Chain A
């Protein structure tokens, strides 16, 4: 089961609903929305599998459709990985 974790050199601040991240290797700064903020906050201490992350997020974010939420989570994870913020470990 692959696990999602925060890239080592990333630091972040939660500002209200949003999150500002700084990537220590590239020097990039990103402003991220509430869902990204929630994901980052959950994986900051320990890597989590996508299933565990899904369960945590579905409690915090209202959605009638689990499939939609799961796809949404997938796209966030992909986006945050491509930005260099999250790792997908096997």
Chain B
């Protein structure tokens, strides 16, 4: 659609889906329009009769705040979970806010803070808090033929252990931006946002192959805990399932909130996965190493 039409739809509430998550986003902020134009043009739209999971607004708090030390607010169906951020961070606020919506309200899944990629029916889970390198590694894998399920969260259905994909633009910070731009020529980025709490930030567009034909039958077979460490050799160290279990708990959004159910779901996942710590400096070597692991 044209930018004009996109702007109108966003003003009213643009309804679209990411994986199985149905979203309505309304915003009149130009940076948000640009963000959607650059990064969301391939996502399926929804019509007004379809159920929406999350009604989101990204807006200036007041007319005053639109012009004087401009700020932006994030609202989830009339609730404001965050303090306002500088106006220039509107697009990032949408992405962070949507992460919050999903991880706070989706307890029919066990949710792990991780990247998830898939190839040939095999899923890799890459758990890790921000700053450990998981998003950079995820982006590199996605540029190397892996399908993106998510760069931020694993959604594991409690009922049957299936992994649900929510493939959204990958957030990359500071040096990672340059690294990925050098890694692949086909990468498309949205605008860079400077001076966020996490530094400079941009979002990488999800390749169209990641949005098509997700079967939902792929199962996780490997859990790899990435640790970026400058000037280190690429090294995979097998980790016991018990240790991996405890590390997964540390990276889970809702293991504790789910009680016994969380334990049971996580047990099943771990039982079927080989687990590794991956220390690396070179992205190319890390990606080849992961590809070779998959071939074994």
Contact = CB atoms under 8 A, between A and B. Distances in A.
Contact residue range for chain A? Answer: 10 to 19
B263 A18 contact: no
A16 to B, nearest CB: 6
Given A16-B241, A18-B241, A27 B256 contact: yes
A22 interface: yes
B263 A15 contact: no
B246 A15 contact: no
A4 to B, nearest CB: 22
Q: Chain A: interface secondary structure?
A: strand
Interface string A5-18: 00000010101111
A85 to B, nearest CB: 14
A24 B271 CA distance: 21
B56 interface: no
Nearest to B255: A29
B260 A24 contact: yes
Contacts of B271: 13, 15
A31 B256 contact: no
B242 A19 contact: yes
Given A13-B267, A15-B270, A20-B267, A31 B260 contact: no
A24 B242 CA distance: 19
Contacts, number: 40
Interface string B256-296: 10011001100100110000000000000000000000000
Contacts of A20: 242, 245-246, 263, 267
Contacts of A16: 240-242
Contacts of B264: 11
Nearest to A18: B242
B249 interface: yes
A29 B241 contact: no
Nearest to B241: A15
Most buried by B among A11, A16, A29: A29
3 nearest A-B residue pairs (beta carbon) = A18-B242, A15-B241, A22-B263
Given A15-B241, A20-B245, A22-B263, 19 more contacts: A11-B263, A13-B271, A15-B240, A15-B242, A15-B271, A16-B241, A16-B242, A17-B240, A18-B241, A18-B242, A18-B243, A19-B242, A20-B263, A20-B267, A24-B259, A24-B260, A29-B246, A29-B263, A31-B245
13 contacts: A11-B260, A13-B267, A15-B242, A15-B245, A18-B240, A18-B241, A18-B242, A20-B246, A20-B263, A22-B263, A24-B260, A27-B256, A31-B245
